[in-house]
Structure 1
Amino acid sequence: MDHDAYRKQSIERWERAAPGWASQRARWQRDTAPVSFRMVELADPQPGQTVLELACGAGDTGLLAAELVRPGGKAILTDAAEPMLDIARSRAEELDLPGVEIKAMDAEWIDLPTASVDTILCRWGLMLLADPSASLRECRRVLRPGGRLVLSAWAPETENPWTAIAQEEASRMLGLATPATSKEGGARHVRVA
């Protein structure tokens, strides 16, 4: 795989998807809330802490955490696709949350100082990266000692019919061959070096 080409194509896809994502943001947030709430529960952010959300998209998970780090805390929401960040900015303004920083950043190269965040959240982003191992190394670098990393990923298609159905329908609508359902799914194992 050409990682640079994959990264470029991924950003372009998310930029094209942003208008549809924005128009369905409330519905998507409602449907995915159980995952976001569970992630924030596991992260257990406290007032005064710094939380980083990678590949934030509309920022639903990071904005939940932002409410919990007040007063004195900060939430940094990042994504490589600027139009997705526009959605997160709009939502942060609606919620009137101080201490929320939203900026473009690639999850494989986290542009933050070493040991500068208490918690990192990434809902369904790590699995879509060209080099998940690079992102995990960066997470380890920017987390403070004792910090928490909370990730979510889709299960293999055989255990998650939602993704298989969505892929089949998208393929049908676009006139593409239906992807074969694999026994292992799209899950990748990564080793942090």
Structure 2
Amino acid sequence: MSSLSPEQIKAATRQAWEKSADGWNRQTPQIHAWLAPATVAMLDSARRVGPGGSVLAPDISAAILQFAQENAQRAGLANVEIRVGDAEALSVEAASFDAVVCRLGLMFCPEPLLALRQAYRALKPGGHIAVLVFSEPQHNPCIGILMSTALQHAGLPPRDPFQPGSLLSLGKPGLLDALFREAGFSEVTTSRLDAPFRLPSAEDYLSFVRTSASPIMQLLGQLDAVAQAAAWAAMKDKLQAFQSPIGWAGPNELLLTHGARPAQ
């Protein structure tokens, strides 16, 4: 278990994403290519917004939302509202939304059950929710390599991969289903989605991590330049295991969990 309080976890998460927002935004093409099939499955599961609908996009990071606003305007999407907010304490009207989706975000909540209860409260009866998170460590070896190497070079002990607020915190089999049901959702189903990250080389993957993977940067940011260089070199060496003649493919597996607020 994490020794940090939920508020400390949120503060660290907010700070990390404030620093990584620009890099994450610049990596948009790579992120789209990586997550496109999983995103389509998530949206299909929760239903899509029609021409007369609207979208509220809350996030804990104001910097992330600024880029979201600019990207929405550039795409001509006038029906998207952004709002800084805490998923565990949403300030929205009860029973006012038809659907809730969350792509690789719920696992950062220190108390995900609170976030799911907020989503339940926001949904209209009969409304749907779909959430994407990473599955178990053995199916996401690149995350394990990055985290274990960063911890080792930072002189820190290994961490429980399922600790609250971490990348793999909701990957334990059956956990997300149980949380959905405890929050009140029915029709709960979970499917596994293969989501390899394909790039020309391990170095390209590490370039992505350097600019946009905030949990790793939190650890390495405390080291001097020489120690950081040694950590990156060790990561690259281990990640070469996923190189092939046609490119680099880092294995990732996601869990897509769907639920509904009962109509009655």
Q: Deviations over 1:112-149 (max 9, x none)?
A: 10000000001111111011111111111110010000
Q: Does 1:186 align with 2:166?
A: no
Instruction: Tell me if structure 1 keeps the 8 A contact 2:57–2:80.
Output: yes
Aligned to 2:32: 29
SS at match of 1:111: coil
Q: Structure 2: any 5+ residue segments left out of the alignment?
A: 185-264
With normalisation by structure 2, the TM-score equals: 0.58
Per the TM alignment, residue 186 of structure 1 is displaced from its structure 2 partner at its CA by: 3.2
Aligned to 2:141: 161
Amino acid at match of 2:35: T
Q: Deviations over 1:162-191 (max 9, x none)?
A: 32233245447x645574686996336333
Instruction: Tell me if structure 2 keeps the 8 A contact 1:42–1:150.
Output: yes
Q: Which has the higher contact order (CA 8 A, sep 6+)?
A: 2
* Aligned residue among 120, 123, 147 for 2:103: 123
Q: Does 1:18 align with 2:21?
A: yes
Supply the distance in 1 between the matched residues of 2:129 and 2:56 (Cα, whole angstroms): 14
Aligned to 1:69: 50
Which entry has the higher C-alpha Rg, 1 or 2?
A: 2
Aligned to 1:61: none
SS at match of 2:78: coil
CA, structure 1 residues 89+169, in 2 after alignment: closer, same or farther (shift >3 Å)? Answer: farther
SS at match of 1:130: coil
- Normalized per residue, the structure richer in strand is 2
SS at match of 1:153: strand
How many equivalent pairs are there? 169
With normalisation by structure 1, the TM-score equals: 0.78
Per the TM alignment, residue 159 of structure 1 is displaced from its structure 2 partner at its CA by: 2.1
Q: Does 1:138 align with 2:118?
A: yes
Instruction: Tell me if structure 1 keeps the 8 A contact 2:162–2:169.
Output: no
* Aligned residue among 70, 84, 91 for 2:71: 91
CA RMSD of the aligned region, Å?
Answer: 2.4
Q: Structure 1: any 5+ residue segments left out of the alignment?
A: 46-67
Instruction: Tell me if structure 2 keeps the 8 A contact 1:158–1:183.
Output: no
Per the TM alignment, residue 22 of structure 1 is displaced from its structure 2 partner at its CA by: 1.8
CA, structure 1 residues 133+74, in 2 after alignment: closer, same or farther (shift >3 Å)? Answer: same
Amino acid at match of 1:108: E
Q: Deviations over 1:42-91 (max 9, x none)?
A: 1122xxxxxxxxxxxxxxxxxxxxxx421x10011110100000111121
SS at match of 2:37: helix
Per the TM alignment, residue 98 of structure 1 is displaced from its structure 2 partner at its CA by: 1.9
Supply the distance in 1 between the matched residues of 2:54 and 2:20 (Cα, whole angstroms): 28
Aligned-pair identity in percent equals: 26
